[in-house]
Amino acid sequence: MNDFNNQLLASLKRQMESIDIYKKMCEKCGLSSPADIERTIESADWAALPAISDRMFKRSVGLFSKLKYNVPGLWHVSSSTSGDPSYVWRTEQDEKVIQESYASCYRKAKAGIDIMLGFAPGMSMLDRMSKRYDLADGTTTKVQSILPTLAAKEVAKKQYVDMIKINIPKTIWQTKVKKIPRPVLELKTKDLQAALTTAATSGLSIVFGASVIFIDQVLRSGASFPIAKDVLVLTGAGGWDGSKGALQAKPIDKPAFIENACKILGIPGSEAESRFWDNYGVTEKAFSCIGHWDAARKDYVYSTEGISPETKVIAVDLVTGDLVKNGKGVIRLISPFGNEGAATAIMQESDEITVLSTNKDGSIKEFMAIKRISVKDQAGEESVDKIGCAGHLGNVEIK
């Protein structure tokens, strides 16, 4: 076997030996020993390898602590759009792998980024947010969105500018008077104007990064901006449906967003496919994948070529678990890297995708049309014995 397969075997062997939940899943799938896993890997039968569902890391399910290894680390927490965050145990090395995964995607969009505009909460705000998710066991928690922010700071050669601030008086009023426990976030419009002016006058490349909800609000504000010659828009972390974490807005139509951004930022429509990118990443896996705008398909097309760390991306039928080589399926991520803290070597995310092309072994080359799936789960210890090969804890339902 090649190096990837050998390391994957070692990761899955560790999961079988240390994580009782995964051992039971393997037995249900007819893989009772590491030798069975090895034969499955050698045959590149990726869909036959048991995958843990992202739902198993949800706080409400109560199993996330049973999926961690007994190693030094901290809890990574998702942004909790649903109000039910994921908790994944990460080591320092895991964090390095995740940060590099995001950084490599940013470099793929633009080899040399001078100025990065971060339309997301700044580091101090993210640190405060992390404390909201602390558990009663004395462990440390960190919202995982800190890592893509650190990656953005890393790749920005000249300047990284936080574009979001918290309005403390309004937040206090909203929390105490309106009983809505959400921060009131505002845009730093003066900093935005200054950064665009610098890029325009100095001929620097500038990237509008992170939340499409905030970027869309800026572009629809009616304000006029200095026109920088080399501007890109790199969205990420979802939000096209209008919801992300504490943010609530109207759904954003992708073609309309692209058209308006081109008009406001002075981007030629003929260059939209090289200027608009979207990043797809997940909390439960050390994985990030970038896609470029495809005008004909009216959506972003994501490529797995050269992703870091090396990952087999496949799609399976939600009910049968069979491999999907064309059309709609549920995304599954397979990689031995970034799994020191938890049993995340093979993750099935609650995201439906459309497969456009595959490699000879059935893994995906390109995909599009990411759509969140609503999953109904059983919670608690009793659900462990009901877990199937795909890690489902209960019935599945697609909205």
Model confidence band, residue 113 (pLDDT cutoffs 50, 70, 90):
very high
**Which whole number is the average pLDDT over 232-237?**
94
| Cβ count within 10 A of residue 265 | 19
Q: What is the pLDDT of residue 125?
A: 85
Lowest mean pLDDT among 25-34, 74-83, 356-365: 74-83
Q: Which residue has the tokens 């995201």?
A: 351
| Mean pLDDT over each residue of the chain, to the nearest integer | 89
Give 16-19's long-range contacts (Cβ < 8 A, gap of 24+): 18/69, 18/343, 19/66, 19/67, 19/69, 19/343
Please check the confidence at residue 170 and state whether its pLDDT lies above 80: no
Q: Which of 277, 224, 221 is nearest to 254 (CA)?
A: 277
- DSSP string spanning 357-380? EE-TTS-EEEEEEEEE-EE----S
Q: What is the pLDDT of residue 393?
A: 44
Q: What is the pLDDT of residue 237?
A: 82
Please check the confidence at residue 155 and state whether its pLDDT lies above 90: yes
Backbone phi, then psi, for 116, in 5-degree steps?
Answer: -115, 125
* pTM for the whole structure: 0.91
Model confidence band, residue 138 (pLDDT cutoffs 50, 70, 90):
confident
- Torsion (CA) 116, 120, 126, 130 in degrees, nearest 10: -130
Q: Which amino acid is at 311?
A: T
Q: Which of 151, 133, 162 is nearest to 64 (CA)?
A: 133
